[in-house]
Structure 1
Amino acid sequence: MSTSGVTEADRRPASLYEEAEAARGRGDYRAGVELARRAAEFSAERGDVAGQASALRLAANQLLRVGEQEAAITACTQAAGLFESIGDERGICETLTVQAIPFNDLGLHEEALDALDRARRIAQRLDDRALLYWVHNRTGVVHAAMGDLAASNECLRHALAMVDPGDDEARFCVLNNLGDNAVFRIPQLRELGRADEAEELLETALGHVRTALELAQAANHPYRQSIVLDNFGMLMAHRGDYGEAFTLVENSRMIALAHGYRSLESAALQHQAQIRLLRGDCAIAVLGLLEALERVTEAKEKPMTMAIHLQLSQAYERIGDFKAALTHYRSYHALEREAHNDVAAVRARMMVHLFELDNARLEADNARLESELHRMRSAELEQQALTDALTGLANRRAADQRLPEMAALADATGRPFCLAIADVDHFKLVNDRYGHAAGDDVLRRIGALLREHVRGIDLVARLGGEEFLIAFEGVDLPEAAHLAEKLRLVVAGHDWSALQPGLAVTVSIGVAEHDHGDPALLLPRADARLYAAKRAGRDRVTASD
């Protein structure tokens, strides 16, 4: 066949993921599924998209080993969507190669090949040899399931040429799959009269499965050991060493029984009966096939049930019980028709489910977009609420918020902090002589001049009307007075005639220093000095009482 105890503690997602991967590594797939699902949930709660996607893919990679193929497909679809949302092409590619396996197991070969074709294009674009290996390996598995062993072997040979010698899992998979193909191809070659080719393939395949068995044993991985022992046994049967073949398959069955790998156990029973058929012990083989049939029927493993009915038909025909042979042949064909219907039903069911997943993802995306738009709009409204519409400077509300913060910082650091209030001289005359539009232009230009000629850490705000505030961080009173004087000169020296012929504009400025007392007293002190500057003749800076 081809390769395809959760503790209760509040662990971090990375730790849960590592435990899930460790469970997969030792073949404890049911525990691995639960751990991976918990890792996905924890990652989702923390907003870790990459972690959630990786955990879902890991869960899928183990769900398919315990017969939960549809759940595996769903998990892969969710993982691929998450990887796509963060632009992780490698993650998408790895997920698609996993998803191809349950598609193939359910008979959805077209979907499996489509997934692998998408994965191949990504792997080629990334020029990633390891990804291309998995694409070729799994494409070979799908072609084998479709009965095209020639195409399968070609893909697997490509995979073998690409495999990293240090990647024991990858080496095991391709070697075991080549051995599995040989189990079916050898009888075909013999029937075609190509005995020499069959013998050459047999010896090559035996070399492959021996190496694969060594790798599985070195990894202490029971699932892989069970799979490869079964293939090893069937190859030995084709060699005519029936005793050794039966022992190898029995070893496979015992490992499967011990670890709850029901499908592998059923396959071993079927293959033991097949070995007896090859040896000519048809009556005993029938008993073994009937036992295997009972198990696979109970487990609803339809492909294996079909194969056993066909083998029973052939076995009964060989011992002369034609009535029983016909009964099992009819059962085989009835199941074959059901299988076609089942594939259609699964395809329809998966389409509905995947459509629902797409809708859910779209709804989640829309919700996120709406939330982001709401956040942006709220931020925009907040910004508007703190911004003077005419000049684009901070407004009185923003200044009322920032000044206590700046005073508190000065208190905490012991650094100086000064405040200046600037007022446009004779602004009413500007409005009366040139109009309110010209007055607005003057205010806008003064706001721009102030902003251009202070440091980035300083606050410039329009308090209302023709009054502006400048807060200087880390500057003492003499330095603040000097900076205010520079601002006064900038305004007075500006070419105002560009706005209106004959226009001249000046400002008066009052400056006060925070004395680490009540910050609410700072603004009135600066305001008082502003009016002192006005009374002294305007177009000047006053920094003392």
Structure 2
Amino acid sequence: MSEQAAEVLALLEQANELARLGQGQEAIARVQAAQALLPDDTSPHLTAEAELCQASIELRLLGQFEEALAMARQAALHFQQAREAHGECRALATQAIAASRLGYYETALDCALMAVKLSTRSESPDALKAQVVAYQAVSVAMFSGRNYADAAPASEQAIDIAGRCTPPLDTFELHVDAASTESLRYFVERDTGADPQVLERMSRHLEACDRIQALGLGTRSIGTGGHTNNLLIHALSKTLWLVWRQDEPAATAQLAVFKAMIRLYPRPWLEAASVWAEAELLRLRGDLLAARQRSVDMVDIALRTQHETLTGIGLRLQAQLAELVGDYRAAVAALRSLDRREQEARSRSLRGRLAVVERQFELRQRNLQLDAVEADRSHFARLALEDGLTGLPNRRCAEEEIQRAVAHVTETGADLCVAMVDVNAFKQINDNFSHGVGDLVLKSIGSIIRSCVRERDIPARLGGDEFVLLLRDTRGHQAEQLAERLSQAVSQHDWSSVHPGLQVSISVGVAQAAPGDTMSTVIDRADAGMYASKRQHQTSAR
């Protein structure tokens, strides 16, 4: 890694820590400093990491949702260019959440489902973490489209996978999101017969949050800048839950806690959320006129901060309160305004999706061109490192790999063995059956060797009838067992299909590398073992 790249990563790490502490402007300044260090020919990976860090801060701390959406799109394209599926998954999840805040339901769901597809390709630790992020995004996207029945299972799936990560992920943020989803479901459905289980599920997730905090956990968010956001959303959800449970004294006290937290961690959208909680408490107290005024204030603030979700909640709250006081005309007007905004959001979402398709097509064309160039380069590189007869790596490739592997043993003490393989009486095979048959024997032995070793091992042909095996993470007794299996496989092969009367055997010598070894010393020991095996074979043949 270059010094410049290391400096960029250090600045991004500082930005992440500042974001965790809720210092959005300071975090953005670090990201911009990192981006200024990126040269024009930098790897798409570093560019994407910087863009995703900026998008996350704009989304969670600054409330700049359009900017976050655009930046996350760029990050996803750069991760795609770098062929980094897990990075692309994180960027798509950030896109989904930003699109949800803007009311772009279809875009949000597209991005979230694509993130799930990318993250479920493997079961590696990184893939499991990506799955948590992806299913969390699905939950948020489903909720933004008011598909609550599917949002809750996606949230539960994220929590379950987080527990299977190594080490398990902190689930505070996931329980906060789940409680928030249930709160919004209750809000929308309460005047039309909400499922009583909704408040119970909300209570269960809030209690899980309290337990996690009591254990001193819940300080690490899954996304950049999420920690203070999680605390704020938790406080808001708890306030609403107490209001809806009609516990006015506790709700009043919790609202005061929420407002104190807002002063500590200011966010552009928090004032609208605070006003929502005030309106709910006023409704509980029966002061519907004051509650209606606060709902109007909430919409004004949400519009100013471009928080489409809170704007929609405010308009729906206006309709609910207007209907309670018998002002049906005002209720209809609020719902019409809500419907108009949702249609406008869908139109903007469609335009954004078309732009993404165009950029993805352009990137796909560029990748096809790069693939063609890389295929040509790989073809010639493979020819330079491949044995033309057997298709195995050649001597040059084997020596490069063995040198690196032996040096790694000295550095780390890793287990490594080298095995030398020689065809017994190969000269007689050529003399008695022809050189063409000898070539077929070598090709067959190459195939047998390849079938006996693991994917991480390297079998190679050194030349003539000599082969070498580089066996990673292998101890001496394991290599001896492999040598025995290989010898049996060669002896038991149907050589009569190559030429009637043909019989072939091999001799194998094994050496385990030790710290301080060189390629020559390990090969010499394996060679000595191979010749000892050959002498034993000759003795038994007599």
TM-score by length of 1: 0.58
CA distance in structure 2 between the partners assigned to 1:92 and 1:297 by the alignment: 31
1:347 aligns with 2:346: no
Unaligned runs of 5+ in 2: 222-226, 378-542
One-letter amino acid of the counterpart of residue 296, structure 1: A
Aligned partner of 2:77 among 75, 81, 88 = 81
Cα separation, partners in 2 of 1:212 and 1:74, compared to 1, 3 Å: farther
CA RMSD of superposed structures (Å):
3.6
Deviations 1:46-99 (A, max 9, x none): 724322221111111112222322322332232223323332222222222222
Cα separation, partners in 2 of 1:83 and 1:44, compared to 1, 3 Å: farther
The aligned runs of 1:226-265 (5 Å cut-off) are 226-265=232-271
Partner secondary structure for residue 83 of structure 2: coil
Task: Determine if contact 1:307/1:332 at 8 Å carries over to the other structure.
Answer: no
Other-structure match for 1:37: 32
Cα separation, partners in 2 of 1:50 and 1:271, compared to 1, 3 Å: same
Aligned partner of 1:110 among 102, 106, 111 = 106
Partner secondary structure for residue 262 of structure 1: coil
Distance apart, 1:189 and its partner CA: 7.5
The aligned runs of 1:296-335 (5 Å cut-off) are 296-320=302-326, 322=327, 326-327=329-330, 329-335=332-338
Distance apart, 1:234 and its partner CA: 0.8
Partner secondary structure for residue 38 of structure 2: helix
1:12 aligns with 2:7: yes
One-letter amino acid of the counterpart of residue 182, structure 2: A
TM-score by length of 2: 0.58
Task: Determine if contact 2:104/2:348 at 8 Å carries over to the other structure.
Answer: no
Other-structure match for 1:99: 95
Task: Determine if contact 1:209/1:232 at 8 Å carries over to the other structure.
Answer: no
Partner secondary structure for residue 27 of structure 1: coil
CA distance in structure 2 between the partners assigned to 1:141 and 1:153 by the alignment: 9
Other-structure match for 1:457: none
CA distance in structure 2 between the partners assigned to 1:13 and 1:193 by the alignment: 50
Aligned partner of 2:276 among 270, 280, 283 = 270
CA distance in structure 1 between the partners assigned to 2:167 and 2:278 by the alignment: 32
Other-structure match for 2:409: none
Cα separation, partners in 2 of 1:57 and 1:278, compared to 1, 3 Å: same
Deviations 1:99-139 (A, max 9, x none): 22112222222222222222222222121322212222221
Partner secondary structure for residue 106 of structure 2: helix
One-letter amino acid of the counterpart of residue 145, structure 2: M
CA distance in structure 1 between the partners assigned to 2:356 and 2:138 by the alignment: 25
Distance apart, 1:219 and its partner CA: 5.9
Cα separation, partners in 2 of 1:71 and 1:253, compared to 1, 3 Å: same
Cα separation, partners in 2 of 1:104 and 1:216, compared to 1, 3 Å: farther
1:124 aligns with 2:127: no
CA distance in structure 1 between the partners assigned to 2:322 and 2:166 by the alignment: 48
Deviations 1:181-208 (A, max 9, x none): 222345648954854x356435423313
Other-structure match for 1:223: 229
1:146 aligns with 2:151: no
Other-structure match for 1:295: 301
Partner secondary structure for residue 107 of structure 1: coil
Moved beyond 6 Å, runs of 4+: 165-169, 360-366
How many residues align structurally? 360
The aligned runs of 1:379-458 (5 Å cut-off) are none
Other-structure match for 2:155: 156
Deviations 1:272-320 (A, max 9, x none): 2112213322133233323323323433444433432332343244345
Cα separation, partners in 2 of 1:154 and 1:11, compared to 1, 3 Å: closer
Other-structure match for 2:340: 337
Distance apart, 1:335 and its partner CA: 4.1
Deviations 1:219-246 (A, max 9, x none): 6943322111000111111222122223
Other-structure match for 2:56: 61
Task: Determine if contact 1:100/1:113 at 8 Å carries over to the other structure.
Answer: yes
The aligned runs of 1:469-480 (5 Å cut-off) are none
CA distance in structure 2 between the partners assigned to 1:70 and 1:345 by the alignment: 11
Higher relative contact order (CA 8 A, sep 6+): 2
Greater Rg, structure 1 or structure 2?
1
CA distance in structure 1 between the partners assigned to 2:139 and 2:334 by the alignment: 30
1:172 aligns with 2:172: yes
